[in-house]
Amino acid sequence: MFKRIDQDNRPRVQILVDGAALEARQGDTVSSALLASGRDVRRATAVSGAPRLPYCMMGVCFDCLVTIDGVGNRQGCLVPVADGMQIEIQKGKREIGR
Protein backbone atom coordinates (compact mmCIF):
# COMPACT_ATOMS: atom_id res chain seq x y z
CA MET A 1 0.00 0.00 0.00
CA PHE A 2 2.73 2.46 0.95
CA LYS A 3 5.91 2.76 -1.07
CA ARG A 4 8.71 5.23 -1.45
CA ILE A 5 8.94 7.49 -4.46
CA ASP A 6 11.90 6.85 -6.75
CA GLN A 7 13.22 10.38 -6.20
CA ASP A 8 13.69 9.87 -2.42
CA ASN A 9 17.43 10.44 -2.15
CA ARG A 10 17.61 11.06 1.58
CA PRO A 11 20.44 9.32 3.46
CA ARG A 12 19.64 5.78 4.54
CA VAL A 13 19.71 4.59 8.12
CA GLN A 14 19.41 1.07 9.48
CA ILE A 15 16.96 0.23 12.25
CA LEU A 16 16.17 -3.12 13.85
CA VAL A 17 12.55 -4.24 13.95
CA ASP A 18 11.93 -7.28 16.14
CA GLY A 19 15.62 -8.10 15.68
CA ALA A 20 15.63 -7.88 11.87
CA ALA A 21 17.48 -5.14 9.99
CA LEU A 22 15.32 -2.66 8.11
CA GLU A 23 16.38 0.24 5.92
CA ALA A 24 14.76 3.60 6.61
CA ARG A 25 15.47 7.13 5.45
CA GLN A 26 16.73 10.03 7.50
CA GLY A 27 13.70 12.10 8.48
CA ASP A 28 11.27 9.17 8.51
CA THR A 29 9.21 8.63 11.60
CA VAL A 30 9.23 5.11 13.04
CA SER A 31 5.67 4.56 11.79
CA SER A 32 6.34 5.81 8.26
CA ALA A 33 9.45 3.60 8.03
CA LEU A 34 7.45 0.58 9.20
CA LEU A 35 4.63 1.22 6.74
CA ALA A 36 7.06 1.79 3.84
CA SER A 37 8.86 -1.47 4.65
CA GLY A 38 6.01 -3.59 3.31
CA ARG A 39 6.27 -5.87 6.35
CA ASP A 40 3.39 -6.84 8.61
CA VAL A 41 3.73 -4.23 11.36
CA ARG A 42 0.35 -4.64 13.06
CA ARG A 43 0.45 -4.37 16.82
CA ALA A 44 -2.02 -6.11 19.13
CA THR A 45 -4.17 -4.11 21.53
CA ALA A 46 -3.76 -4.71 25.26
CA VAL A 47 -7.31 -5.83 26.07
CA SER A 48 -8.72 -7.72 23.08
CA GLY A 49 -5.58 -8.36 21.03
CA ALA A 50 -7.20 -6.67 18.03
CA PRO A 51 -4.72 -5.73 15.28
CA ARG A 52 -3.87 -2.07 14.75
CA LEU A 53 -1.77 -0.12 12.25
CA PRO A 54 -0.62 3.51 12.41
CA TYR A 55 -3.69 5.53 11.48
CA CYS A 56 -3.66 9.28 12.04
CA MET A 57 0.14 9.79 11.80
CA MET A 58 -0.08 12.90 14.02
CA GLY A 59 -0.18 11.57 17.58
CA VAL A 60 -3.93 11.56 18.20
CA CYS A 61 -5.08 7.94 17.90
CA PHE A 62 -2.35 5.86 19.66
CA ASP A 63 -2.68 3.03 17.12
CA CYS A 64 1.05 3.27 16.36
CA LEU A 65 2.39 2.27 19.81
CA VAL A 66 5.74 0.46 19.67
CA THR A 67 8.65 -0.23 21.98
CA ILE A 68 11.68 1.88 21.04
CA ASP A 69 15.09 1.12 22.54
CA GLY A 70 13.41 -0.72 25.42
CA VAL A 71 10.83 1.99 26.22
CA GLY A 72 7.27 0.80 25.59
CA ASN A 73 4.12 2.61 24.53
CA ARG A 74 5.94 5.13 22.35
CA GLN A 75 3.97 6.74 19.55
CA GLY A 76 5.93 5.71 16.48
CA CYS A 77 4.35 8.44 14.37
CA LEU A 78 6.04 11.12 16.50
CA VAL A 79 9.55 9.64 16.83
CA PRO A 80 12.12 10.13 14.06
CA VAL A 81 14.27 7.11 13.21
CA ALA A 82 17.91 7.02 14.21
CA ASP A 83 20.64 4.71 12.96
CA GLY A 84 20.74 1.56 15.10
CA MET A 85 17.36 2.20 16.77
CA GLN A 86 15.75 -0.97 18.09
CA ILE A 87 11.99 -1.25 17.63
CA GLU A 88 9.63 -3.95 18.81
CA ILE A 89 6.07 -4.33 17.57
CA GLN A 90 3.93 -4.45 20.71
CA LYS A 91 1.81 -7.53 21.29
CA GLY A 92 -0.69 -6.59 23.97
CA LYS A 93 0.18 -4.66 27.11
CA ARG A 94 3.81 -3.57 27.54
CA GLU A 95 5.06 -4.74 30.91
CA ILE A 96 8.40 -4.33 32.70
CA GLY A 97 10.79 -7.01 31.50
CA ARG A 98 8.85 -7.76 28.34
Query: What CATH number should be reported for the domain holding residue 60?
Result: 3.10.20.440
Let me know if residue 56 belongs to a domain.
Answer: yes
Residue 30 CB: number of other CB atoms within 10 A?
Answer: 26
User: 74: which strand partners?
Assistant: 66
Contact 8, 15 (CB under 8 A): no
Confirm whether 97 is domain-assigned: no
Residue % of the chain over a pLDDT of 90 = 74
3-class DSSP assignment, residue 98: coil
Average of pLDDT values for 26-33?
97
Question: Is 78 domain-assigned?
Answer: yes
In the structure, what pLDDT confidence band is assigned to residue 76 with cuts at 50, 70 and 90?
Answer: very high
Domain that holds residue 71: 12-89
Number of structural domains (the chain) is 1
Please, which pLDDT band fits residue 96 given cuts at 50, 70 and 90? Answer: low
Segment holding 33, helix H or strand E: helix 30-37
Does residue 50 form part of some domain?
Answer: yes
Q: What is the mean pLDDT of residues 62-89?
A: 96
26 pLDDT higher than 90: yes
H helices, E strands: number in the chain: 1, 7
CB 37 within 8 A of CB 30: no
